[in-house]
Amino acid sequence: MTPSARIAAAVATVTLAATPAALADAPAPAPAHGAPYVETRLLFGTERPDGGPPVTEKQFLAFVDRQITPRFPAGLTIQDGRGQWRDRNGTIERERSYEVTLLYPAPEAESRNPRIERIRTAYERRFAQESVARADTPTRVDF
């Protein structure tokens, strides 16, 4: 078979496979579960740029109790981590860290934003941090 005949046969096969009858036999996509939510992940470093002692687990959990739980009483998840980032002086910092995951209904995103920003600012001020990273992702949640 010549190269152009092979191409024509491949196109015919793809065309036949995509006919309405073939598509009707294709499995339906799985239904989406849950309601629209936003997942916000906050990343808290523990080393202090001013050279002070690292934030301890006890200090971090007290911060969660005072600053995060009152703003998100329905629940949250905390994970221990190890991270690295480049500070404002260009130095790569490696440190123990915490990741806090918050889930809330998508229609509440605008009203939740100031609460999240107050958490970030409070941690930065309390523990002399350059920043608290934030990542927001739309998701679906079913409890």
Residue 88: per-residue pLDDT: 82
From the list 77, 81, 106, 107, the residue with the least C-alpha distance to 95 is: 81
Other C-beta atoms within 10 Å of 12: how many? Answer: 10
Angstrom distance (rounded) from CA 77 to CA 75: 7
Residue 51: per-residue pLDDT: 83
Assess contact for 34 and 110: CB atoms under 8 A.
no
Q: What is the pLDDT along the chain (143 residues), one digit of tens a residue?
A: 554 444 444 444 444 445 555 556 777 676 678 999 999 999 999 998 888 899 999 999 999 999 999 999 999 999 999 999 888 888 898 999 999 999 999 999 999 999 999 999 999 999 999 999 999 999 999 98
Separation of CA 31 from chain center: 23
pTM score, whole prediction:
0.76
Angstrom distance (rounded) from CA 43 to CA 52: 19
- Give Rg (Cα) of the chain: 25
Other C-beta atoms within 10 Å of 55: how many? Answer: 23
